[in-house]
Amino acid sequence: MHFVLLVHGASPAAGVAIRLHDPSDATTLRRVDGGLTITDGPFAELPEPITGFERIEAADLDAAIAVAARHPAAAAGTVEVREIRADSAADDEPAPTPAPGTRRYLFLHTNPTDRTALARTADEPPSDWFTSEHTRRAVLEGERLRPAGATTAATVRLRDGDALIAHGPYAELAEEVAGYDLVAVVDLDEAIALARPHPTLVVGAIEIRPLWTT
Amino acid sequence: MDDLKRAADDALRAAFRTEWGVLVAGLIRRTGDWALAEDCAQEAFAAAARRWPVDGVPASPGAWLTTTARNRALDRLRRSAVEARKLEEVLAMQHDPDPVGPVEDDRLRLIFTCCHPALALEARVALTLRTLCGLTVAEIGRAFGASEAAMAKRLVRARAKIEHAGIPYRVPDAEALPERLPGVLAVLYLLFTEGYAPHEGDRVVREPLTEEAIRLTRLVARLMPGEPEVRALLALELLHDARRPARTGPDGVPVPLDEQDRSRWDAGRIAEGAALVGRLDPATDGPYALQARIALEHDLAPHDDVVDRTRIAALYARLAALTPSPFVELARAVAVGRAAGPEAGLALLVALDGDKRVAAGHQLAAARADLLRRAGRREEALAAYDLALARAPNAAERAFLERRRAEL
């Protein structure tokens, strides 16, 4: 099975595969009254902002939790474990390498936790975002996550050598992270243009977070 | 010597108004370094302040300043041993005459970048004032009631975000314009409504922020002739600014609109605003266009009694549909109160008591107090004025409310 580790707090995120810039460097897109609204900041002000990201393989949720508990970030912050959907978009094609002159961003897709709001997406025609040439060139990898529940998600903290584990979502919020894309584009405007037609925006938001370049 | 100094000061003031933004915009394009661009522009003007009173004002002040700033940039880049490519760009700058096209584009680039919606609104405003208008960090702080240190920090943060998030230095594509232009207009509108008065005794006397806002709005309107909302914003600013001479009494107390001496209103600005509104197509009216039309109703009426309140109330209703906000509803209620009688207006205010964005503020209380006064409900009006006074944000507002209360 595949899981995503979202590192909260622990800034700069210690030992994490993908380190993100500060949440104040984030930009969030929403669709309001048919038009695109761009705002400064993350999709929500979390008590511990998301600072890092990693993708792992594990036999099951408990195994993933064990990996998270050993992660350096667990001692400094909180590691959120989320299961990737088995039917997620990942295919067998090798991931494209970032084109020269591009910088990488993480798209965090959010969905409302309120199921009735989410149901509005059922009537939307299928989007060609996933098959467009532009997407193929710019998106390095991307996955959809299972909604956070007791059997699909957990939060892990390491305090004084004790692993504090809670099953379920990171917090009770109006929106949760529902998927991600790692993209390589020239600048923020291109990232926004890439995200603009994505179906997430029917009911959710897309947070665009720049990666630390080392 | 005195004449030379005076001529130099005048030329410097004029050059600052027209050249600062151009200079900074060009330097950013060439060097990609915002802080460097501002510093070199600042040093060029400082050099002009030293040399022009002695050597006389140059035939082309803009070219003098540009050359000086570029040389300064070259010096600093050389000294910081920067990468060869960047240095080449700067060297190329020395031989590059300023064609009209890219200069205009440079300032438009700068405006759109400073006003990128990925930056917090307060960051956009600070960045615009610093890089486009050349206000010092201290002046910007004064304008917005923040310390110089806090403002400096805000600017550093803004530039950091531009770099970290990869905000590009360019004019947005046509496709992106609808989502980008509102960000620019929001900044210009905020600059206008802040309208601060500059301190006397500054080296280069600053004009009020309202003038900066109008000047920038004119620039954007000229550079984007196909965008009616920009012209609408300009009209709105002109129509409001036209009333400025009558807005404050000799004692500094604000004079309400219905009591202002209309003969002191700026007829030239009203005419210009009216002409701009006349060219707007009502079918495509955005929020600024509607507000401009409302302002025009007031500005064209020879007397407060003949202002068409019914039309104003209808315009506020359309505005509320576009940009729902309790403040718009409040304004609409006031207009309805004048058009259909105070009881009708009071009825609309009731709905706002539940909206926490306005319920605790002084505007709602003041509006209610005024309508109760007009309705002849004296006891309730007194209580409402007391509530408004308790919440009044400053002395001028308090003085005005106290006067109204005393008249009861």
Is A40–B176 a contact, with Cβ atoms under 8 angstroms apart?
A: no
Is B161–A37 a contact, with Cβ atoms under 8 angstroms apart?
A: no
Which helix or strand (DSSP H or E) is residue A18 part of?
strand A18-19
Query: pLDDT tens digits, residue range B277-294?
Result: 999 999 999 999 999 999
| Cβ neighbours, 10 Å, residue A9 | 18
Residues in chain A with CB shorter than 8 Å from the CB of B119 are: 40
Q: Dihedrals φ, ψ of A164, to 5°? A: -100, 115
Q: CA B13, CA B27: separation in Å to the nearest integer?
A: 21
Q: What is the DSSP string of B9-46?
A: HHHHHHHHHHHHHHHHHHHHHHH--HHHHHHHHHHHHH
Q: CA B294, CA B271: separation in Å to the nearest integer?
A: 15
Is B166–A27 a contact, with Cβ atoms under 8 angstroms apart?
A: no
What SS3 class is residue B162? Answer: helix
Is B164–A22 a contact, with Cβ atoms under 8 angstroms apart?
A: yes
8-state DSSP, B60: -
Q: Is A27 on the interface with B (CB under 8 A)?
A: yes
Q: A40 near B120, Cβ under 8 Å?
A: yes
Q: B81 near B102, Cβ under 8 Å?
A: no
Q: Is B371 on the interface with A (CB under 8 A)?
A: no
Q: Is B176 on the interface with A (CB under 8 A)?
A: yes
Is A40–B161 a contact, with Cβ atoms under 8 angstroms apart?
A: yes
Q: What is the pTM of this model?
A: 0.81
Beta partners for A183? A105, A139
Q: A81 near A54, Cβ under 8 Å?
A: no
pLDDT digits (tens), chain A, 214 positions:
999 999 999 766 667 889 999 999 999 999 987 789 999 999 999 989 999 999 999 999 999 999 999 998 898 899 999 999 987 755 556 677 888 889 999 999 999 988 777 776 666 676 778 778 778 889 999 999 999 999 999 999 999 989 999 999 999 899 999 999 999 999 999 999 999 999 999 999 999 999 987 6
Is B119–A40 a contact, with Cβ atoms under 8 angstroms apart?
A: yes
pLDDT digits (tens), chain B, 408 positions:
578 888 888 899 889 888 899 899 999 988 888 989 999 999 999 999 999 999 999 999 999 999 999 999 988 888 876 666 666 666 666 555 544 444 567 888 899 999 999 999 999 999 999 998 888 898 888 888 889 999 999 999 999 999 999 999 988 888 888 888 988 999 999 888 876 555 544 444 456 788 889 988 998 898 888 899 999 999 999 999 999 888 887 776 778 888 899 999 999 999 999 999 999 999 999 999 999 999 999 999 999 989 999 999 999 999 999 988 898 999 999 999 999 999 999 999 999 998 888 888 888 999 999 999 999 999 999 999 999 999 988 777 888 889 899 988
Phi/psi class of residue B375: alpha, beta or left (left: φ > 0; alpha: ψ in -120 to 50)? alpha
Q: B184 near B110, Cβ under 8 Å?
A: no
Query: pLDDT tens digits, residue range B133-146?
Result: 888 898 888 888 88
Q: What is the DSSP string of B285-334?
A: --HHHHHHHHHHHHHH-SSGGGS-HHHHHHHHHHHHHHS--HHHHHHHHH
Q: For residue B213, count CB atoms less than 10 angstroms from its CB and return exposed for 0-12, middle for 13-18, buried for 19 or more.
A: buried
Q: B222: distance to nearest CA of chain A, Å?
A: 24
Q: Is A72 on the interface with B (CB under 8 A)?
A: no
Widest CA span of chain B, in angstroms?
78
